[in-house]
A and B are shown apart, each in its own frame.
Chain A
Amino acid sequence: MGGELKAILGTAATCVAQVLWALLLAPLVEGLVRKLTARIQSRQGPPIWQGYFDLLKLLGKEDLEAGEIPWLPRVAAFLSLGTLMFMACVLPLGAAPPLGTETDSILLVHLVTLAGLGALMAGFAAGGTYSLIGSSREVMLMVLLEPLLAVAVIAGAVHRSSLAVAEAVRGGVYAAQGFPWSGLILLVVILLAFPAYVQRVPFDIAEAETEIMEGWLMECSGPTLALFKYSAMLKLVLYSALFVNLFVPWGEAGGGVGAWLFFWIKTGAVIALVAAAAAAHARYRADQAVRWFGMMLAAALFALWLAGLGC
């Protein structure tokens, strides 16, 4: 019994450590991304600590509640950030995930959806015209993006015959018996859709500052806005890490500090790629994006069929 308790406490401690690390890292990453974007666009840009400053400022600002059910956007913000924190315990972040044997890949896919659900509830509860247009768009994208990610995860689960996150998600897409056609197709597909998962240009259609004024976020302010901003920062880090796990699993064979460091270097590279793409592109229209993801989804389903055939 003592050993069991020790194991549980050990797992809990690892979870807390992983969550705190992700929480501390995320605003810094945001700052670096803004710096990089500014440099690409020949601007000076804010200091790299700006992400922390923004959060601290917003946490102290007045919370203006526009909705008729004021507690709901607040709870939705907790849900969004809370789900992402839990995801940090499920994902391998340079080491085996602390809850690796208690969760599976199917849950992981649903956690991605649940993190998005918070945004929708906030948008709908606020009830403003712009926030509803933004929410509507968010749903349209989510409906296509969630299955896209699910296909990538499932393909790994098919190749490895296992649903464990550490098996299916850790480079499982390439584990075909023959040449990994399915894995390569999925790599291209997810790469082309990736900015949408982290709500960046060219797919930040649900927020679209210059068009619908932050969409679903519009009526959020103060601490609620801070939490949603924090969620967005955390999403960028975690989903980039998920991408690395799925498609760039190499070079971590030894384990230990070296592997951990290399994992985060790879994740940083993915984030830099996202930032560079965002800085150099204009936003797609909502209908273009829906058409685009529809085609991606068709390609992904074809790849999954190939995976079922063993290639």
Chain B
Amino acid sequence: MSPGQGVIASLLTCLVGAGLCGLVAPRRRLAGWVAFAATALSSGLALYAAGKALALGSVEPEMFLKVESMGFALTLHIDGLSAFFILLIASIALPAVFYSIDYMESYPEYGVGRYYPLLLIFIAALYGLVSTTDMMWFFFIFWQMMTVPGFLLIRFERQRAENRRAALKFLVMMEIACAATMAGAELLAGAPVSGAAAGGGAALKYDFATVSSRLPALLEQRSLLTAAAFALFLAGFGIKLGMWPFGRVWLPDAHPAAPSPMSAMLSGVMLKTGVYGVMRYFLWLVPLERRAIYPAWEWGAVMTILGTITLLTGTAQALKQEQTKRLLAFHSIGQLGYILFGVGMAMLLLGMDDPRLEPLAVAAFAGALLHTLHHATFKSLLFLNAGSVLWSTGTQDLNRLGGLARWMPWTAITALIASMSISGVPGLNGFISKWALYVAGVEGWPAASWLPVCAAIAILTSALTLASFVKFFGAGFLGRSSAYVERKARERGRLEVPWRMQVSQWLLAVVCVVAGLLPAVTFGLVQLALKAGHRGLGAVFGTMSPATPAFLAGVRTVGQGVVIAVLVVLGIAAGMALAWLLSCLGGAPRRRVEPWLCGYATHEDSMRVTAHGLYGHLKSGLSARGLARMMWSKAPTREWDKNAGPRHTASGGKESGS
């Protein structure tokens, strides 16, 4: 079985599975297991296809279906980049669907006939989208296969007006994105151009290879039109990946509305098709041998700046959120900003045409690819964690939560791992990809003097991310148990989720830790992917070694950047062991007490510092207006609102028993 056949088989498995699920939908659990079986089979096939493509090193496009009269053909090209994204889809879809089996029990009022079949079609569309070479018709078909089920899944809880609104916003934005991208393709494929490059035949007018072969002549003769086409691509895929200023229009509403495993798929996988589009169109469309006429520096600069704005604004918005899934959704914008930042830097550095900067370009691109993978693992995990909290407490409101680590310790540990990972704590996978991006940003100063400033803003944003996840984890899982949580615990007996939901969480948490400890393995995977592809400018990444990874020895790159995660973790662990020994020296006894409240008050729910009460001064300076007010007027900002304390306001998503 060739890689292309493997992907087709995987896609068909999903579609057949969708049909079967539709048939058995009245029996909820059975439908869940059928969906899982279909996902497992399709993921297996997809992993096989991706693995084979990477092992073969170079795969030609494979044509499966050709309709000459209508001018389209289903051609799949599983090169390294596609294989990488297929691998990502397959490995996130599996835990997400497995998690759904138990999770969907919590919607007795909604049938699963509107869930599993749509989810499987959605997954099939993702596979198609990252492997088709048709920039028009099959792009459109797969895009719609992703958008329409996505729309229906976001409005799954359709009795709530805000979910219907969120889904509609998603639909409209995705259709605009689709139109923009297809208009761009039409501009490139339809514009008349003189020269020998125009070939390929009318039937394959929109094929990637045809457009690619016409591009150099277009760049020479119609530079303005080509620029317009690329701007449309950036806008289209930018809408998808949540780029500033489009991201906040749809993304923070859509993610919390969907059922949690679907939120995990939306953030972990679906946004990545935007990343794939940007990478594919901007780096693989222009032929390698004609790279000199492609304005890579200019487009790279635009993307780097947009990425920096996206990561900063997305994360700054996230810091103000008090609903778990909404907070995570804003962080998706922020983290996707990092990826765009990396892709932009890679292009900017390539555009300098300086052999000394090319290893940095590879580091930037490897960082972007790795962050795509890492974000998929930790963000899916976080959405599953938020789902577990919602499942057992019935709320997304951090203000009403507290002390959950006591009630659901296993979920808490995985949430801690994911929170530290997204915040870039050394030893976990988020640090590795961010590290590669920082190295490229700092050492890439000869390409643009402002690049280190962007890197510093990315580091600032990483600190903001940490603050936000200290809030997420601290207000949700630590602190005193809120009266609400204690009541829920009494009602339900236990709050911890069943083992089947935990398995998915643990699987993703283990990936976060292992990928964080052994960056050499993930960097090796990226290098393999970059080597397995020989068309387009992006292939230049395959010819160079950005880093010299050695198993366990970590990763080294230019500019003496080095990360040996095992050493760091062992070193800190040794220090911790010494600290532990020290703490045992005195043989001090331990006793449980109540928190001290000046000796005359006992703890009450109204005394809890909730998520709303955190970071007052910082939050008031995070908007442009707030910052201006803070700087001009000397009046003190408030540490917290007058009506801080548990706010019992409406929260997005499922709410029960309140």
- A-side residues, CB < 8 A to B, are 15, 19, 56, 58-70, 72, 74-75, 77-79, 81-86, 89, 99, 101-104, 106-107, 109-111, 113-114, 117, 120-121, 124-133, 135-137, 139-140, 142-144, 146-147, 150-151, 154-155, 157-158, 161-164, 167, 218-219, 222-224, 226-227, 230, 285-288, 290-291, 294-295, 297, 300-301, 304-305, 307-310
Given the known inter-chain contacts A59-B582, A129-B595, A287-B639, please indicate yes or no for A147 contacting B470, CB distance below 8 A: no
Contacts of B571 in A (CB 8 A): 15, 86, 89, 99
A305–B588 touching, CB < 8 Å: no
Which of the listed residues A101, A104, A106, A227 has the most CB atoms from chain B within 10 Å of its own CB? Answer: A106
Partner of B559, one of A102, A130, A157, A294: A157
Nearest CB in chain A to that of B481: its residue: A68
Nearest CB in chain B to that of A226: its residue: B583
B609–A133 touching, CB < 8 Å: yes
Q: How far is the CB of B487 from chain A (nearest CB, A)?
A: 16
At the interface, yes or no: B23 with Cβ under 8 Å from chain A? no
Partner of B456, one of A77, A120, A147, A309: A147
Partner of A86, one of B453, B563, B575, B591: B575
Which B residues from 508 to 566 make CB contacts under 8 A with A? 554, 559-564
Q: Once the chains are docked, how many angstroms separate the CA of A66 from the CA of B405? A: 15
At the interface, yes or no: B127 with Cβ under 8 Å from chain A? no
Q: How far is the CB of B615 from chain A (nearest CB, A)?
A: 6
Nearest CB in chain A to that of B627: its residue: A294
Nearest CB in chain B to that of A139: its residue: B467
Contacts of B474 in A (CB 8 A): 120-121, 124, 132, 135
Which B residues from 570 to 596 make CB contacts under 8 A with A? 571-580, 582-596
B567–A150 touching, CB < 8 Å: no
Partner of B576, one of A63, A78, A223, A286: A78
The DSSP consensus for interface residues of chain B is helix
Given the known inter-chain contacts A147-B460, A222-B588, please indicate yes or no for A285 contacting B636, CB distance below 8 A: yes
At the interface, yes or no: B451 with Cβ under 8 Å from chain A? yes
Nearest CB in chain B to that of A65: its residue: B592
Which B residues from 449 to 468 make CB contacts under 8 A with A? 449-453, 455-457, 459-460, 463-464, 466-467
A63–B591 touching, CB < 8 Å: yes
- B-side residues, CB < 8 A to A, are 402-403, 405-406, 420, 424-426, 431, 435, 438-439, 442-443, 445, 448-453, 455-457, 459-460, 463-464, 466-467, 470-471, 473-475, 478-481, 554, 559-564, 567-568, 571-580, 582-597, 607-609, 613-618, 621, 627, 630-631, 636-637, 639
Partner of B583, one of A109, A150, A224: A224
Q: Once the chains are docked, how many angstroms separate the CA of A111 from the CA of B637? A: 31
Q: Once the chains are docked, how many angstroms separate the CA of A62 from the CA of B609? A: 27
Partner of A84, one of B450, B575, B608: B575
Contacts of A106 in B (CB 8 A): 435, 438-439, 442, 561, 563
Nearest CB in chain A to that of B478: its residue: A124
B575–A83 touching, CB < 8 Å: yes
